[in-house]
Structure 1
Amino acid sequence: MALDLSVWRVRPEPGPLVAPTGPGVLDGESVAVKDLFAVSGQRVGAGNPAWLAAAPVERAHADAVARLLAAGAAVAGIAQTEEFAYSLTGANAHHGTPPNPRAPGRISGGSTSGPATAVAAGQASVALGTDTGGSVRVPAAYQGLWGIRSTHGTVASGGLLPLAPSFDTVGWLARDADTLARVGQVLLPADPVTLPDDVPLVVSDALLDLAAPDVRDAVGQLARTAGAGAVDWAPEPAWLTAFQTLQAAEAWAAHGAWLAGRMDTLGPAVRARFERARSIGAGEAQAARADVGHARAEIRERLGERVLVLPSAATVAPLPAEAEAARTATMLLTCVAGLGGLPAVSVPVATAGGLPAGACLVGPAGSDGALLELAARLAP
């Protein structure tokens, strides 16, 4: 079978690319690694051919990759990402958009797009990715997968190419809750925060209303079945502005020196984001950082010891021509966990029309393992 270069950058046949280094709870599992993580003997491509050509060969595995290998998993290959992980559609201007096996003809969602498609298509059992502004939760929703964004700073990020360190987290996807949880056993430390079996779940109509009616109904049904109580939690456009401004400033700090003379190597959508990032001055970035700090404190105070249920993405996977239309509504939803630095698990649900969507559970910082267990119990 020909290698689909929209999904995979490196995938040997027969595989794997890297064999397990030890036995463990992931024996027999195969991992599609997002092309931001170091894999020994390979280059990090970041979805950009010019970056790949200049990248050194990695001498050691990223921390997360090494831990998965030591627990019995094999690396099936290195899967595509959108350029520098700075997008949510899944489209890569150089390699194309990975297909969506669960919703043919619709986009895959990004930026963990290649690994997500590999798992949805059965070419790997685990997708190792990152989530800065929704890059695990959105493809999980669009492709009917389980996915988690871990508490910020909880999973070691050594050997990971950054985008915006204030928000970057390690995340992963799987086709079932058990596999997602077993990866958590390997990557997550013991929970500093536990959730009781009767942890209060809450849902906000204002947040639900950011989603299209079919997604709103599917997520609302899960919330009602779970007995979630109503809270008055209105979306805060100023939060998204602060998130996007600081994300952009940090993205330019991370990559601007290299990109300054190479902006023409970027696809149009990602280039536009980096052009905006280049224009942000120190004062604007400092103000955004302060606003992010205030938002984080407020979000954590609002949530307390409860779990918030909200849509993982505002729509089902759009058709390609509609890919950017729902971006703002989706990011108003995803930035809640991003700003809060909180864990978020996307649980697959289906709309009345049979398309995949995601119900997101956002829990207190450090409750990742307990949140995975709760998500499995609430699955439709």
Structure 2
Amino acid sequence: MATTDTAVWRERGNPLVTGSGTGPLHGIRLAVKDMHAVAGHRLGAGNPAWLAEAEPQPAHSWAVGALLAAGADVTGIAQTDEFAYSLNGTNAHYGTPPNPAAPGRVPGGSSGGPAAAVALGQADAGLGSDTAGSIRVPSSYCGLYGLRPTHGAVPATGMLPLAPSFDTVAWLARDPRTLARLGDVLLPAGGGGGQRPFRTALVATDLLALGDEGVREAFGPAAAGLAERLGLKIEEVPSLGGDPGERAVAFATAQAAEVWECDGAWVSAHPGTLGPGVAARFARAAKVTPEEREAAEAVVHRSARDLIAALPDDAVLLLPAASGPAPLPDQENEHKAATRRATFRLTCLASCAGLPCLVLPRMSVDGLPVGLAVIAGRGSDRALLDLGVRSAGQDFRAVR
């Protein structure tokens, strides 16, 4: 039977891997999602059958190596949803990591292990990945700060791919300064340095409508408080172009085609080794035709162009990071599917366009955290991290 510890960690040390001993991240304890290579240790991808066949990695992933060189210690390898192909944070083999910010509820996925480790105080930061929301959703559910960077800004070398056109190295932390310190190491030097200051905060009515009633009520005060703190002018628009439902279906189809390219052969050769939710997604991925993929990618590319055109260099887009607070693990399947669908429609926006997205723990619904997501233009990652640090000068949570 899975224990709380094994639901969070696949391997844990004191530390598991020691950093350089000096550098800007000296003293930072890092939880590494089990999608990143850690030299001398196996990569498990959240699946025991995959782990059983794995050999110790010969080298660190680029991101793990960079953080170790900067002085961080790897406390351990944290659990993930199988192959990172989920947003819930549950794992049929290892159990569900706890969510101390929302006791009894899921932590969100697929970076649920790192999120739980950070929320529990067992690590200072979590290194994960984000393809369709895998850092943003657990950040929202666990009341953490998280960043999905510009696609390609951080090398994904040594990170197990899910859908390479959308995969990003990503990270989360309890406070914005730690989040920014990791960004100083991982992001390209000078990125965003020449960007104009943010002046406008866009709010799209059709995206806000994807949040449940409590999120919609909390969003207004949270967005207004953030804008006041940072000197931003809020500008409400009906839409940024395109239908959120059509965009989400297209993204899911394009993503699924790449997922099957990456892992379909292994899954086919190992029937019965996946948990039910992930197995169902792989089964759908196997059926995507070349024509369906081509049509989906056309919608994704159009959505990317629309968003980039609608987002000036001096503007950010504010939206809920998830459609609601963390759900209960035994939520009815119909309700679970509706929650995932609404959240996916929010998270796939930045993924389609490859834009950076920062999650701030700035809303509370019935005492449960919900993140406020901030999307900005390509390459503005450092400016977003600075926004996060400046936003923390006061607490303006909107409590329902």
Structure 1 and Structure 2 fold alike (TM over 0.5):
yes
State the partner residue of 1:222: 222
In structure 2, the CA distance between the partners of 1:202 and 1:219, relative to structure 1 (3 Å rule), is same
* Cα displacement (A) at 1:176: 0.2
State the partner residue of 1:363: 376
* Cα displacement (A) at 1:159: 0.3
2:132, 2:344 within 8 Å by CA — same for their partners in 1?
Answer: yes
* Cα displacement (A) at 1:205: 2.3
- Distance across 2 between alignment mates of 1:206 and 1:295: 14
> Which letter does structure 2 place at the counterpart of 1:201?
A
- Distance across 2 between alignment mates of 1:149 and 1:216: 23
State the partner residue of 1:274: 282
Q: How many residues align?
A: 377
Q: Give runs of aligned pairs for residues 18-33 of structure 1, distance below 5 A.
A: 18-33=17-32
Match of 2:317, SS state, is: strand
CA displacement 1:39-97 (0-9 Å, x = unmatched): 00001100000001111210100000000001110000000000000000001010111
In structure 2, the CA distance between the partners of 1:352 and 1:61, relative to structure 1 (3 Å rule), is closer
1:38, 1:60 within 8 Å by CA — same for their partners in 2?
Answer: yes
State the partner residue of 1:328: 341
* Cα displacement (A) at 1:38: 0.2
State the partner residue of 1:9: 10
Match of 2:30, SS state, is: strand
1:191, 1:367 within 8 Å by CA — same for their partners in 2?
Answer: no
- Distance across 2 between alignment mates of 1:328 and 1:73: 36
* Cα displacement (A) at 1:195: 4.1
1:191, 1:366 within 8 Å by CA — same for their partners in 2?
Answer: no
> Which letter does structure 1 place at the counterpart of 2:223?
A
Q: Give runs of aligned pairs for residues 1-380 of structure 1, distance below 5 A.
A: 4-12=5-13, 15-193=14-192, 194-225=194-225, 226=227, 227-233=233-239, 235-305=243-313, 306-322=315-331, 323-379=336-392, 380=396
Match of 1:321, SS state, is: coil
The two structures, once aligned, show a CA RMSD in angstroms of 1.4
CA displacement 1:298-333 (0-9 Å, x = unmatched): 111112322000000000011112344301110110
Question: Structure 1 residue runs of 4+, over 4 Å off?
Answer: none
> Which letter does structure 2 place at the counterpart of 1:142?
Y
TM-score calculated relative to the size of structure 1 = 0.96
Gaps of 5+ in 2: 228-232
* Cα displacement (A) at 1:192: 4.1
TM-score calculated relative to the size of structure 2 = 0.91
Gaps of 5+ in 1: none
> Which letter does structure 1 place at the counterpart of 2:389?
A
> Which letter does structure 2 place at the counterpart of 1:255?
D
- Distance across 2 between alignment mates of 1:89 and 1:309: 23
Q: Percent same amino acid at aligned positions?
A: 51
1:307, 1:361 within 8 Å by CA — same for their partners in 2?
Answer: yes
* Cα displacement (A) at 1:353: 2.4
